Copies of this chain bind each other. A is one copy, B any other.
Amino acid sequence: MRKTGNMENQRRSVTIRDVAETAGVSVSTVSRVLNGKVDVAKETKNHILSIIDDLGYSTNLAARSMRSQKKNLIGLIMPDIAYPFAIEVMKGVNRAIAESEFDLLVYTSGDVRKRGRVTSEQKYITLLAKSISDGVIVVAPVASEYNIDKPIVSIDPVMSHPNYPSVHATNYEGSRAAMEYLIGLGHKRIGFINGRTELESANRRLSGYRDALKKNGIPIKEELIASGDYTTETGVKCGRQLLSLKNRPTAIFASNDQMAMGVYQVAEEMGLRIPEDFSLVGFDNISESKYLGLTTVDQFISEQGYGAMQMLIQIINEVPLEKQTLKVQTQLVVRSSCREYHES
């Protein structure tokens, strides 16, 4: 039954040829059945189908991808799959995928550092895009241009004006909103914990912080700006740094919720209460912060994933995009009101 050719001990898997030979038809007929073409006699088709079943044949993705255009596969490329932002994006993309005709292939090297070390982002994108998918979504890409002919949409790109469509939250506006809220409460000494400065999104949040102070005539004190990297650990570090200043800030605005969580921990350690002793606001709304009643700026990350997928599908179907940039609105979520503060 199984054609073994020569005495190689390598187990070969069953190919379209095996099916064709067993069924006594040509390879192309099998291919036609496989691809649902109509011009195949019903009985031939059924015969082939049963042989396929018998042999447990299934198509070779690689081979197929080489020949045909449409692959019904979308690639999602992320540096790391296990951090909150990535997971939220995936949820959104996944939802769009479920509603679509496409399947999803998520690619990751598991770790930002490993990826950077081994080879460039460009390589992976091209790999997935040119080879086996109809288009790709890239999270936080660093390059401003990719020379592939496949559709590409990015989420939270590092560059402010990349040459590909992109999706991002209104980081500046959200940051402004948070600050206006705190300032409106009477705060004048507001600490800021910065995120990964290589990301445009982080810089926009910082700008929001600075501009809000400026517009309200509050002098910017560099000692109140701590630099973190979006992890809870640096949140702890920066929280300690800010809260142990002789002239402690009356409020802290963290550039993401993970770092806000860190500050929260420090506050507990130091016996400081929120909001009595100081106010705390965090960007993002994905971590435990919501269970702690923290005030946050929600950037609707999963909507960004969903939106990116929608854009991509449009491009693939050659529907012209109205805008190259999709802005997902941020929203200030006040859970437990922050402390009102007025200088004595």
Contact = CB atoms under 8 A, between A and B. Distances in A.
Contacts of A62: 61-63, 65-66, 131-132
Given A62-B63, A122-B56, A291-B288, A107 B98 contact: no
A291 B291 CA distance: 7
Given A11-B149, A65-B62, A106-B106, A111 B98 contact: yes
A56 B131 CA distance: 15
A248 interface: no
A91 B62 CA distance: 27
A104 B97 contact: no
Nearest to A95: B82
Contacts of A127: 58-59, 61
Q: How many copies, total?
A: 2
Interface in A72-92: 80-82, 87, 90-91
A123 interface: yes
Contacts of A65: 62
A13 interface: yes
Interface of A: 11-13, 56, 58-63, 65-66, 80-82, 87, 90-91, 94-100, 103-111, 114, 122-123, 126-128, 130-132, 147-149, 288, 291
Contacts of A97: 108-111
A94 B66 contact: no
A153 to B, nearest CB: 17
A104 B94 contact: no
Contacts of A59: 127
A60 B80 CA distance: 23
Nearest to A123: B58
B106 A110 contact: no
A57 to B, nearest CB: 8
Contacts of A90: 81-82
A60 B56 contact: no
Contacts of A99: 110
A81 B104 contact: yes
A110 B98 contact: yes
Contacts of A106: 81, 104-108
27 contacts: A13-B130, A13-B149, A56-B126, A56-B147, A58-B122, A58-B127, A59-B127, A60-B130, A61-B130, A61-B131, A61-B132, A62-B62, A62-B65, A62-B66, A62-B132, A63-B66, A66-B66, A82-B90, A82-B94, A87-B87, A96-B110, A98-B110, A98-B111, A99-B110, A104-B106, A104-B108, A132-B132
A11 B69 CA distance: 12
Contacts of A130: 13, 58, 60-61
Nearest to A149: B11
B81 A94 contact: yes
A105 B107 contact: yes
Contacts of A95: 82, 110
Given A66-B66, A106-B106, 19 more contacts: A12-B149, A56-B126, A58-B122, A58-B127, A61-B62, A61-B132, A62-B63, A62-B131, A63-B66, A80-B94, A94-B108, A96-B110, A97-B109, A97-B110, A97-B111, A98-B110, A100-B110, A103-B110, A104-B108
